[in-house]
């Protein structure tokens, strides 16, 4: 009888009507699903689901039946006329009445049902997609909860995020707090909106932010949590609320103002708490969560160097409306800043893959925190790294003799290229040195990369598996770059003396066994050579943890560059022309581009954060080790793959054109050429690039023009500093050469 019921359910589902394409997208976004999540649940490609939502294609059985079931369940949760949002909680929310679950009729149905049920009780009912509109008219919205001044200041320039769709956060993710000439405290929000701030003290400012300002940002993933509102304090606002405009040298070194400061005492009296980092440039003020209500506000203080000029340029000196615009674009496209760009990059990983999720308690029918980690996440608890992956000073290496220097057979050393060589006679006869730079190189290296999610397993004499992430002790000294495989059945003869080894950052040929991440060893196999690992630390619990992180940052980068006039569909000549002077078109948005790039590099760097003072001594644990996101193996895998991707393009370029790089620094490579443009040496045919080689474009992984200098300039610089192998890629952008230490 059960089988008969299942067949009837399947028959009914096969004729279920599908909503219009636009409604399909609304329902998915209302529940907070990404295209990748739906595609994975239905066992189809991401592009397939995108086609269904755009109306270009229609689903077919059996996927159609499961897709209809998913949409029907979402339609029950989010009717088209629903404008309310359910409260969210850190871990779980108790429903008023448990939802009945339809009978599953196949693997695709079960996957769709599981994905929906797992996220139902933790997603807001309204569409929670972050606003990413590039431009729009300035808002002058009013609210009865607080007085507004619709025309206190001019609206922010174009290309600011539009209105948020979540009614809890209608005024955007953040505000810049300032004091005008009349002494009125104002909060500058995104889109040109300005709010009057009645608060007379920091505690009352926090209360006003949580109760009336309607600031914040919806969560980025179903089991996650909403972003706390961010207040950026100008110097005038600091003076108004009794805070110093600048930190003393002692306070700067401590990273906070003293606990005895009057503002800190005010917060204590009002029963507000500060995190362990205290009241510093990125202060977090909170009360413990009560039920589904979160009470936390973050302060950003630019005059205390919260916005590092290396990544945010002169953002801290901008007018309040302009600063709100910059940070608003970044928040809408990446996430609300949680600290430095490095901290935000790491927090973005966690926000997209929350470590915990809610499950139904069968005994009570309510939802509780799951006993296991969320699939695809790193979990709540840190895992130990392998000894070879540990940086010097790690507690796991405490038994090593003092002053012991670990060699390649003891330490995994995956870093970016820093290699150069003298010019050949033929290259000296050319006119110029042309540098090209890979866009978002490390983000591209993270795309599609399988990394370990759990702890390592030690294996002796393993058989190498290119699909298994880990660290491998293997001898690659036999790999000869003078003859390599460049395609499945195609080999090429190259001049190995003009190429860096792909196995070491300095390009030196390895001389014996060394530790490598999986992408490096896999490349040796790809080049046509056998490998025999001696031992390995592998991670059987693995996944594409960084895919969503990459997609978010890629989309943010491309959207901002499009606002600056650089698009993904440009032909090479138009692309080079568009990149010429792109910063001057909108210097403020150019700052956002720099911040997005810094988020990529900084986030990956945080995966292996080193001690930061605090009285640390070698062999003792430091604060970062307590984080689940302290994962040096993931950082090593990304860098390994990025370096290998770069070397693969260099090899294909050399095999096809006979041209070899002169210098490589991280994601920049320099070639000798007669002309001044990359088109003078990149092998384009009928507008098409060399397959597998360098391609001009703005997408991550494609290249742009970094700079051109003359060959005479390069030789003069090397002669001046008596450094025949000075890395010219370091100075190719503008030709300015600073002091050189030992030729590097």
pLDDT tens for residues 693-711? 999 999 999 999 999 999 9
Looking at residue 316, the DSSP 8-state letter turns out to be: G
Q: Are residues 314 and 200 in the same domain?
A: yes
Instruction: Please give the residue that has the higher pLDDT: either 488 or 159.
Output: 488
For residue 461, is it within any domain?
yes
pLDDT of 127 reads 34
pLDDT tops 50 at residue 158: no
For residue 267, is it within any domain?
yes
Instruction: Please give the residue that has the higher pLDDT: either 13 or 367.
Output: 367
For residue 20, is it within any domain?
yes
Q: Are residues 331 and 203 in the same domain?
A: yes
pLDDT of 142 reads 34
For residue 14, is it within any domain?
yes
Q: Are residues 179 and 279 in the same domain?
A: yes
400 pLDDT tier (thresholds 50, 70, 90): very high
pLDDT tops 60 at residue 292: no
Structure tokens at 271: 């029963």
Q: What is the side-by-side strand order in the sheet with 513-517?
A: 457-460, 535-538, 470-475, 513-517
693 by DSSP, 3-state: which?
coil
Q: What are phi and psi of 352, to 5 degrees?
A: -85, -20
Cβ neighbour number for residue 83 with a 10 Å cutoff: 10
pLDDT tops 60 at residue 149: no
pLDDT of 1 reads 54
pLDDT of 18 reads 85
Least confident of 57-66, 78-87, 443-452, 653-662: 78-87
pLDDT of 714 reads 95
Lookup result for tokens 């005479």? 712
Q: What is the DSSP string of 394-431?
A: -GGGTTSPTT----TTT-------EEE-PPPHHHHTSS
Q: How many domains would you assign to the chain?
A: 3
pLDDT tops 90 at residue 87: no
Residue 12's domain spans which residues? 2-120
Domain endpoint, select from 528, 543, 558: 543
Task: Please give the average per-residue pLDDT across 669-690, as a whole number.
Answer: 94
Q: Are residues 392 and 460 in the same domain?
A: yes
pLDDT tops 60 at residue 516: yes
CB 722 within 8 A of CB 728: no
Task: Output the pTM of the full model.
Answer: 0.79
What is the torsional sign of CA 40, 45, 51, 54?
A: positive
pLDDT of 131 reads 37
Nearest residue to 423 (alpha-carbon basis) of 53, 709, 51, 114: 709
Looking at residue 191, the DSSP 8-state letter turns out to be: G
Give the separation between CA 600 and CA 582, rounded to whole angstroms: 21
Structure tokens at 454: 């759990």
For residue 645, is it within any domain?
no
CB 702 within 8 A of CB 696: yes
310 by DSSP, 3-state: which?
helix
For residue 359, is it within any domain?
no
CB 630 within 8 A of CB 609: yes
| Residue 229 Cα to chain centre, angstroms | 20
For residue 567, is it within any domain?
no
Structure tokens at 238: 């600091």
Percentage above 90 pLDDT, the chain = 67
Angle value at C-alpha 225, between 224 and 226, nearest 5 degrees? 135
Q: What is the largest CA-CA distance in the chain?
A: 89
pLDDT in tens, 173-228: 999 999 999 999 999 999 899 999 999 999 999 999 999 999 999 999 888 889 99
Q: Are residues 256 and 328 in the same domain?
A: yes
pLDDT tops 50 at residue 146: no
Lookup result for tokens 């001696």? 534
pLDDT tops 50 at residue 121: no
667 pLDDT tier (thresholds 50, 70, 90): very high
Domain endpoint, select from 86, 120, 154: 120
Burial class (CB in 10 A: 0-12, 13-18, 19+), 191: buried
284 by DSSP, 3-state: which?
strand
Rg (CA), the chain: 28
pLDDT of 159 reads 43
Cβ neighbour number for residue 248 with a 10 Å cutoff: 11
Q: Before 119, cis peptide (omega within 30)? A: no
CB 466 within 8 A of CB 522: yes
pLDDT tops 50 at residue 742: no
Task: Please give the average per-residue pLDDT across 53-79, as a whole number.
Answer: 82
CB 184 within 8 A of CB 195: no
Give the separation between CA 178 and CA 201, rounded to whole angstroms: 14
- N-term to C-term CA, the chain: 78
Instruction: Please give the residue that has the higher pLDDT: either 267 or 224.
Output: 267
pLDDT tops 60 at residue 454: yes
Looking at residue 514, the DSSP 8-state letter turns out to be: E
Nearest residue to 81 (alpha-carbon basis) of 143, 30, 18: 30
Domain endpoint, select from 543, 562, 593: 543
Q: Are residues 332 and 186 in the same domain?
A: yes
Q: Are residues 175 and 298 in the same domain?
A: yes
Checking DSSP bridges between strand 451-452 and strand 273-274, what pairing results, if any?
A: unpaired
With the CA atoms of 23, 25, 28 and 30 taken in that order, what torsion angle do they form, in degrees rounded to the nearest 10? -70
Burial class (CB in 10 A: 0-12, 13-18, 19+), 11: exposed
Residues 6 or more apart in contact with residue 251 via CB below 8 angstroms: 244, 257, 258
pLDDT tops 80 at residue 691: yes
pLDDT of 56 reads 73
Q: Are residues 195 and 318 in the same domain?
A: yes
Give the separation between CA 521 and CA 529, rounded to whole angstroms: 10
Task: Please give the average per-residue pLDDT across 475-493, as a whole number.
Answer: 93
pLDDT of 594 reads 97
256 by DSSP, 3-state: which?
coil
pLDDT of 278 reads 94
With the CA atoms of 568, 573, 579 and 581 taken in that order, what torsion angle do they form, in degrees rounded to the nearest 10? -150
Q: Are residues 179 and 315 in the same domain?
A: yes
- The number of residues in the chain equals 744
Cβ neighbour number for residue 101 with a 10 Å cutoff: 12
Q: Are residues 90 and 218 in the same domain?
A: no
Task: Please give the average per-residue pLDDT across 658-665, as a whole number.
Answer: 97
25 by DSSP, 3-state: which?
helix
pLDDT tops 60 at residue 640: yes
Q: What are phi and psi of 205, to 5 degrees?
A: -65, -40
pLDDT of 178 reads 97
Give the separation between CA 41 and CA 51, rounded to whole angstroms: 16
Q: Are residues 410 and 276 in the same domain?
A: no
Which secondary structure element, helix H or strand E, spans residue 556, and what is its range? helix 547-563
- Distances, alpha carbon 173 to alpha carbons 235, 273, 556, 563, in Å: 21, 22, 16, 21
Task: Please give the average per-residue pLDDT across 624-636, as a whole number.
Answer: 97
Instruction: Please give the residue that has the higher pLDDT: either 336 or 165.
Output: 336
Q: What is the side-by-side strand order in the sheet with 185-188?
A: 194-196, 185-188, 174-179, 230-233, 293-300, 282-290, 273-274
487 pLDDT tier (thresholds 50, 70, 90): confident
Percentage above 70 pLDDT, the chain = 85
Which secondary structure element, helix H or strand E, spans residue 710, and what is its range? strand 703-710
Q: Are residues 102 and 180 in the same domain?
A: no
For residue 439, is it within any domain?
no
Structure tokens at 6: 């299942």
Checking DSSP bridges between strand 174-179 and strand 185-188, what pairing results, if any?
A: antiparallel
Q: Mean pLDDT in the chain?
A: 86
Lookup result for tokens 């983000």? 443
């Amino acid at each position: 009888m059960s089988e008969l019921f299942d067949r009837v359910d399947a028959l009914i589902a096969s004729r279920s009507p599908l909503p219009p394409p636009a409604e399909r997208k609304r329902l998915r976004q209302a529940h907070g699903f990404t295209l990748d999540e739906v595609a994975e649940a239905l066992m189809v490609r991401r592009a397939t689901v995108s086609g269904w939502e755009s109306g270009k294609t229609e689903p077919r059985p059996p996927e159609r039946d499961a897709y209809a079931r998913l949409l029907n369940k979402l339609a029950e949760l989010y009717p088209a006329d629903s404008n309310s949002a359910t409260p969210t909680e850190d871990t779980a929310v108790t429903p008023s009445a448990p939802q009945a679950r339809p009978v599953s009729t196949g693997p695709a149905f079960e996957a769709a049902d599981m994905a929906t049920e797992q996220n139902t009780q933790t997603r807001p009912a309204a569409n929670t997609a972050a606003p990413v509109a590039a431009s729009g008219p300035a808002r002058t919205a009013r609210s009865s909860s607080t007085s507004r001044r619709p025309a206190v200041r001019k609206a922010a320039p174009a290309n600011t995020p539009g209105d948020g769709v979540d009614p809890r956060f209608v005024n955007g993710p953040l505000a810049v707090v300032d004091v005008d000439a009349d002494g009125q405290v104002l909060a500058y929000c995104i889109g040109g909106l300005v709010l009057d701030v009645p608060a007379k003290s920091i505690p009352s400012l926090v209360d006003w932010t949580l109760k009336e300002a309607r600031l914040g940002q919806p969560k980025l993933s179903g089991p996650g949590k909403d972003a706390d509102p961010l207040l950026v304090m100008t110097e005038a606002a600091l003076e108004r609320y009794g805070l110093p405009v600048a930190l003393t040298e002692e306070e700067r070194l401590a990273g906070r103002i003293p606990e005895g400061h009057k503002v800190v005492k005010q917060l204590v009296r009002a029963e507000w708490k500060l995190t362990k980092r205290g009241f510093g440039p990125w202060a977090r003020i909170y009360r413990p969560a009560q039920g589904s209500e979160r009470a936390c506000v973050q302060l950003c203080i630019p005059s205390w160097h919260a916005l590092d000029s290396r990544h945010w340029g002169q953002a801290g000196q901008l007018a309040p409306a302009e600063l709100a615009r910059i940070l608003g674009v970044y928040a809408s496209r990446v996430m609300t800043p949680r600290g430095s760009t490095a901290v935000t990059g790491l927090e973005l990983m966690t926000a997209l893959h929350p470590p915990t999720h809610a499950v139904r308690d069968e005994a009570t029918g309510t939802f509780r925190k799951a006993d296991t980690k969320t699939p695809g996440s790193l979990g709540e608890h840190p895992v130990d790294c392998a000894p070879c992956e540990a940086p010097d000073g790690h507690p796991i290496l405490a038994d090593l003799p003092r002053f012991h220097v670990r060699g390649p057979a003891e330490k995994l050393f995956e870093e970016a290229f820093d290699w150069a060589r003298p010019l050949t006679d033929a290259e000296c006869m050319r006119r110029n040195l042309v540098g090209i730079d890979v866009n978002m190189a490390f983000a591209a290296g993270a795309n599609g990369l399988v990394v370990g999610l759990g702890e390592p397993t030690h294996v002796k004499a393993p058989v190498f598996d290119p699909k298994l992430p880990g660290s491998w002790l293997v001898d690659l000294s036999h790999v000869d770059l003078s003859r390599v495989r460049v395609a499945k059945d195609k080999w090429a003869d190259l001049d190995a003396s003009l190429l860096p080894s792909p196995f070491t950052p300095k390009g030196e040929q390895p001389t014996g066994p060394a530790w490598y991440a999986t992408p490096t060893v896999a490349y040796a196999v790809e080049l046509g050579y056998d490998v025999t690992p001696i031992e390995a630390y592998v991670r059987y619990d693995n996944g594409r943890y960084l895919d969503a992180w990459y997609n978010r940052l890629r989309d943010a980068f491309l959207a901002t560059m499009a606002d600056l006039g650089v698009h993904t569909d440009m032909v090479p000549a138009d692309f080079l022309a568009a990149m010429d002077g792109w910063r001057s078109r909108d210097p403020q948005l150019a700052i956002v581009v720099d911040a997005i790039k810094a988020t990529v590099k900084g986030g990956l760097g945080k995966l292996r954060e080193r001690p930061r003072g605090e009285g640390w001594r070698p062999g003792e644990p430091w604060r970062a080790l307590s984080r689940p996101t302290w994962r040096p193996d993931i950082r090593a895998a990304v860098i390994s793959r990025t370096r290998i991707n770069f070397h693969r393009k260099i090899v294909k370029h050399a095999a096809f054109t006979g041209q070899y790089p002169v210098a490589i620094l991280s994601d920049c490579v320099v070639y000798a050429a007669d002309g001044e443009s990359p088109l003078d040496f990149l092998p384009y045919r009928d507008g098409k690039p060399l397959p597998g080689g360098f391609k001009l474009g703005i997408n991550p992984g494609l290249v742009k023009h970094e700079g051109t200098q003359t060959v005479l300039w390069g030789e003069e610089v090397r002669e001046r500093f008596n450094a025949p192998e000075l890395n010219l890629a370091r100075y190719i952008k503008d030709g300015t050469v600073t002091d050189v230490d030992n030729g590097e």
